[in-house]
Structure formats: structure tokens, C-alpha cells
Structure 1
Amino acid sequence: MAHVLIVDDSPTERHVLQGMLERNGFKVSLATNGEEGVAQAKAIKPDLILMDVVMPGLNGFQATRELSRTPDTASIPVIIVTTKDQETDRIWGMRQGARDYLTKPVQESQLMTTIRSLIGA
């Protein structure tokens, strides 16, 4: 069973994404901000991370950059899932090390297709 870490400061978003993932057979862990997300990623080594951008403290771009540049976590694919829908945001997110970029509200079928393309689950 593939393990996905959701990093999002919104309880509603965490709940919605967790429901989608669990319905599709994924194990889910949750983090409420960038710092917690980075710490959990290092501790549990999930198969994939869903990363929000707009969070207090360490934002999703900064957390993604840190994860992608740390040897222990660099191989974990990060999908940015955010309301920031500008092309410049998408380009910046990918430059920080994200493997894909989805805008909210994300459709379950799109999310599952994206995850499976990255981890083959």
C-alpha cells in the first residue's frame, strides 16, 4: 500500500484529500504546515507528498525546495496542490523540485492519474 503525506494548513482540504486517497487504497499521513511536513517526510519517508503552497511559516515552495535538495528526501515525488493557478506559480513550483502541479479544487480522477504516473501505484 503506497503511503502519501498530505501537507496542508486547511483541515477541510486535508479531509477531502485524505478521503480521496483512502478510497483509492492509499495509506495517509497528515501535516499542518511546511515545517511539520518536512519533518514528517524525513521521519516516515512516504512514497509521495501532496504539498499546499499558502501556509504560515515555511510555505509549500520553500518546503518543496528543502525536500528536493535534501539527500534523504530528494527521491520522494512532490505534487503541489494549491489555489495558486498562475503559470508563473506553476513554473516556480516545478523549479523548486515539484514533480507536478495541480490547482484546487482537484478532481479525484485527475489526482489519482497524476499520483499513479509518478509512483506506479
Structure 2
Amino acid sequence: MSNKTILVVDDSKTDFLYVKNILDHGGYTVEYAPSGRDGIDAAKRIKPDCILMDVVMPEMNGFQATRAISRAPETAAIPVLMLSSKSQETDRVWAERQGAVDYVVKPANPKLLLSKLRALLQ
């Protein structure tokens, strides 16, 4: 079992519960933030080992939240993996430019998501 904490930032409770189930089976501790702003606050407070960030959210999207997290000194070392229904190559490139370390298209393939997390967190 892992003792790593993953913060999932997603405004969809359904999507969160799907990802939480995958992470629970992977042995991770899961924290949740329902918005980009809440995700930034939670990242500072919890200091998770990794953040799974949705892109499409109201008020502050995942690109904006990722940029804020990756540029703030207290959270810059936390890897952000984008988890989004947006599947265009331009979305992947933009995510990378905001500081994301990887990009997975929803619905996440459980084996793919867990293998990417294991590689990031080793």
C-alpha cells in the first residue's frame, strides 16, 4: 500500500468518485477539491504528493489553477497531472505550458492512470 496523497480537483462529483475508486484500489490517500480556487487552497494546506486537475471548471479553470500552483513557491514542487475530457493536442501542449507534468483524457483508463502515478511518485 502507498502512503501517498493525491488531491483530485474536479467540479464533477461523479467524475471524482470514479477517480477516487481507482486511486483507492491503487492504495492512495485521496483528498478532494471541487473547484480550481479550492484546489489551490488545498494544495497549500495539504501539500499532496500529486494533484489530478480537471480542465473545465467554472470561475477558474484547471489551466489557471495549474499555473497558480506551479508558480507558487510553496506548491511548485507538487506535480500536476491534468485529467480532462478535452482531448486535443493543443490542450496537452497548453497544460504543459501551465506547469502540468502529464495529461490523461477522461474517462481515465485505471491501469494507465495508476501506472502514470507510480512513475511520477517513485
Same fold, TM-score > 0.5, yes or no: yes
What's the RMSD between the two structures over aligned residues?
0.5
Number of equivalences: 120
Of residues 21, 24, 28 in structure 2, which corresponds to 1:22? Answer: 24
Task: Give the secondary structure class of the aligned counterpart of 1:101.
Answer: strand
Q: How far 1:24 sits from its partner (Å)? A: 1.1
Q: Unpaired segments of 5 or more residues in structure 1? A: none
Scaled by the length of structure 2, the TM-score of the pair is: 0.97
Runs of 4 or more, structure 1, over 4 Å off, are none
Q: Could you give the per-residue CA deviations for residues 51-86 of structure 1, whole angstroms, max 9, x where no partner exists?
A: 000000110000000000001000000000000001
User: Partner of 1:110 in structure 2?
Assistant: 112
Q: Deviations over 1:30-69 (max 9, x none)?
A: 0000000000000000000000000001100000000000
Secondary structure in 2 matching 1:6 = strand
Give the TM-score normalised by structure 1: 0.98
**Alpha-carbon distance in structure 2 between the residues aligned to 1:49 and 1:71:** 16
Report whether the alignment pairs 1:90 with 2:92.
yes
Paired residue secondary structure (2:78):
coil
1-structure distance, mates of 2:18, 2:66: 21
Does the alignment pair 1:74 with 2:76? yes
Inter-partner Cα distance in structure 1 for 2:30 and 2:108: 17
2:43 is the alignment partner of 1:38? no
